[in-house]
Each structure stands twice: as C-alpha cells, then as structure tokens.
C-alpha cells in the first residue's frame, strides 16, 4: 500500500504551457535564488515570446495542487541538461533529491551518456550524493556603467573596432583559444564556439547589442583576433557574455580596455547597469572588482554525471 506521506510529498514534473506564464514568473519571483531586474509583466511577455524549442524545455514542479519550483530539461547529442532549477523556500529539502532522481531517470530513458546540471549551491548535497562531479562555480556580478577608471592606451600594433556581423567564425576561434585548458572551456571544439557566437548574434540568449561588441586585431594578423567582448540584453539588463583575450596578448591591459570601452558605450546607449556571470577563482575576478563589479546573486554549481550504459 502506498504510504500517504510519500504520495503527499511527491513532486510531479509538468510541461509548462504558454498559458502557465504567470505561474512560471510567480515561482521565479518568490524564489530566494533569483535577481529581479524587470517588472513582472515584462517577464511574462518574454516567457510567451520564447521560440518553440525553448518552450519545450520548460517544466513546472508541482506537489499536489501547488507549484513549488521550475526547471529546464533537454538533451542534445550525448548529453542531457538540467538548468534553471528554482525551488520555493517552503518546498523542503526532499524536493531537490526527487528532482535529481527524476532527471537521472529521464536522461537514461533518452539514451544519453551524460547528465549536466546547473543549480544553486543550496542544493549541492542532493547532487553530490547522486554522484555529480563539480565542474565550476559561478555567480552574477553587477556594476554601474558610469566608470571613473581611465582608458589606458594600447600598443600601436593593436586596433580596437566594433565587431562586424560576418566575423562569427573568427570570434569563435578566439573564444576557443582563450578558454582552452580553463574552467570556461564548455565546448569541445571550435564548431561549438562558432555556434554559440551565431546564437548570440541571432538573439537566442536575449537581444544582441552590436554597438557595444568590440574586437581587437593585430596589424600583422587580421584573421586571428587578439581579443573581443560580446554583449546582449538579459532580462532587460546588458550582460557581458564573453570577454576574451588570446593567450599571447594577455597582461597588456587588453581585457580592461575592452571592458571600459563596452561599459562606456552601454552608458551612451542609456543603460545604467551591466551584469556578467563569472567563474569563481579565475584571475578575471580581480579585474571585475577593479571595474566596480560586486557579487549580486547566489553561487551556482555546474556539475556532470556519467550514466551507466
């Protein structure tokens, strides 16, 4: 016979429908894990405007007749991903355990080899006990675009200019070169980085802001870029998606130059705030602090588990 306490506390995944926009946003706003940069009606509008592929990833978590969380779950190639996990404070510790178990079952049923998960650090015990290996820790940092830091000169062989629409391939190569060997190397090859740049330019992460995206080229090598900074809007606020410098051009102030240039352009465009997601422990954190960025959100864990064959 089914234990009534187990039945009462069971968590059900339900596909989030277009008409569930208000519920999805309500869960988000009631959670302690989210930053609120935009009004509720704007969040609802953004929910309804998502492309069908993104809509299909959304799940609301229900216990009996009450929504207690939400997440995204999808698979591609050999990997399934659980992202955007939000639980209400009253959900209780057992909910995260159930979410992990259900995600493993769904990943196994889809035939993938790996399950990746991104979740607030508050749920770390539930994922660690299920065999997830931590890849990196990230947090949100926020700064004013009204900078007092001076713009330092660069070596004469380097030229900074706005990114051209057809430079996605070169920027993809730069991102691979800049991130290889570090915790932010999230794509196995240059094709993955080029695809991410295309997705950014197409607005899949939020409206692209080409006016504040810059690249740096060297006078002797116009194809292999020395650096780049890419921005888009996230929840109505500009976000620096990537600030990358090729290994051979580090330690000359190029990262600071790009950040100052982009932040000042954002200010000229009428934006007073800029945010970024940063991997904790990397040297760039010190630069962001000098630029006035402060930690403004919870720590998120990115982890991965291999599934049995």
Question: Does 147 share its domain with 127?
Answer: no
Give the model's pLDDT for residue 29: 84
Of residues 236, 242, 98, the one with CA closest to residue 171: 242
For residue 245, which of 276, 219, 218 has the smallest C-alpha distance? 218
Share of the chain above pLDDT 90, in %: 71
pLDDT digits (tens, 9 = 90+) for 223-238: 899 999 999 999 889 9
Asked if 243 and 119 sit in the same domain, the reply is no
**pTM, two decimal places:** 0.83
Instruction: Give the model confidence (pLDDT) of 27-42 as tens digits.
Output: 988 886 656 667 888 8
- Number of domains observed in the structure of the chain: 2
Quote the tokens at residue 218. Answer: 């060297």
The alpha helices in 93-220, defined as continuous H runs, are 93-109, 124-128, 168-179, 190-201
191 belongs to a structural domain: yes
Q: Are residues 146 and 293 located together in one domain of the fold? A: yes
pLDDT band at residue 49 under the 50/70/90 scheme: confident
Report how far residue 8's alpha carbon sits from residue 127's, in angstroms, rounded to the nearest whole number: 23
Average of per-residue pLDDT values in the chain: 91
Q: pLDDT tens-digit profile of 161-196?
A: 999 999 999 999 999 999 999 999 988 899 999 999
Is residue 2 over pLDDT 50? no
Q: Are 234 and 262 in contact (CB under 8 A)?
A: no
- Take residue 145 and report the two structure tokens written for it: 């675009």
pLDDT of residue 82: 97
| Distance, CA of 293 to CA of 45 (rounded, Å) | 29
Q: Is residue 252 part of a domain?
A: yes
**CATH number for the domain harbouring residue 104:** 3.40.630.30
pLDDT at 5 over 70: no
Task: Mark whether 171 and 289 lie in a shared domain.
Answer: yes
Decide which of 131, 153, 173 is a domain's last residue: 131
Q: Is the pLDDT of residue 43 over 80?
A: yes
Asked if 167 and 220 sit in the same domain, the reply is yes
Write the DSSP symbol of residue 2: -
How confident is the model at residue 63, as a pLDDT?
Answer: 94
Asked whether residue 306 is domain-assigned, the answer is: no
Q: Is residue 137 part of a domain?
A: no
pLDDT at 134 over 80: yes
Cα gap 309→298, rounded to integer Å: 35
Span of 1-10, 81-90, 143-152 with lowest mean pLDDT: 1-10
For residues 77 and 17, membership in a common domain is answered with yes
Query: Does residue 112 sit in the same domain as residue 26?
Result: yes
| Domain span including residue 15 | 4-131
106-130: pLDDT as tens digits: 999 999 999 999 999 989 999 999 9
pLDDT of residue 93 exceeding 90: no
Residues in the chain: 309
């Amino acid at each position: 016979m089914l234990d009534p306490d187990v039945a009462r506390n069971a968590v059900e995944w339900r596909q989030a429908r277009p008409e569930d926009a208000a519920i999805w946003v309500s869960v988000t706003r009631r959670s302690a894990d989210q930053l609120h940069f935009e009004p509720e009606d704007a969040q609802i509008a953004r929910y309804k405007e998502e492309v069908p592929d993104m809509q299909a990833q959304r799940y609301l978590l229900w216990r009996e007749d009450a929504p207690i969380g939400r997440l995204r779950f999808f698979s591609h190639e050999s990997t399934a991903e659980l992202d955007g996990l939000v639980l209400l404070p009253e959900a209780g510790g057992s909910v995260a355990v159930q979410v992990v178990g259900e995600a493993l079952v769904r990943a196994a049923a889809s035939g993938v080899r790996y399950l990746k998960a991104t979740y607030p650090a508050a749920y770390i015990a539930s994922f660690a006990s299920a065999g997830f290996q931590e890849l990196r820790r990230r947090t949100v940092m926020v700064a004013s675009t009204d900078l007092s830091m001076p713009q330092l000169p660069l070596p004469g062989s380097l030229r900074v200019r706005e990114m051209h629409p057809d430079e996605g391939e070169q920027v993809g190569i730069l991102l691979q070169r800049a991130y290889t060997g570090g915790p932010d190397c999230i794509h196995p090859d240059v094709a993955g980085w080029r695809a991410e740049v295309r997705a950014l330019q197409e607005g899949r992460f939020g409206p692209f802001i080409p006016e504040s995206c810059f690249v740096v080229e060297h006078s002797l090598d116009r194809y292999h870029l020395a650096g780049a900074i890419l921005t888009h809007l996230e929840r109505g606020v500009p976000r620096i998606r990537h600030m990358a410098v090729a290994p051979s051009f580090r330690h000359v102030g190029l990262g600071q130059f790009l950040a100052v240039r982009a932040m000042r352009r954002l200010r000229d465009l009428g934006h007073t705030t800029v945010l970024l997601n940063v991997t904790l422990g990397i040297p760039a954190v010190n630069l962001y602090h000098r630029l006035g960025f402060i930690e403004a959100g919870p720590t998120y864990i990115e982890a991965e588990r291999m599934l049995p064959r």
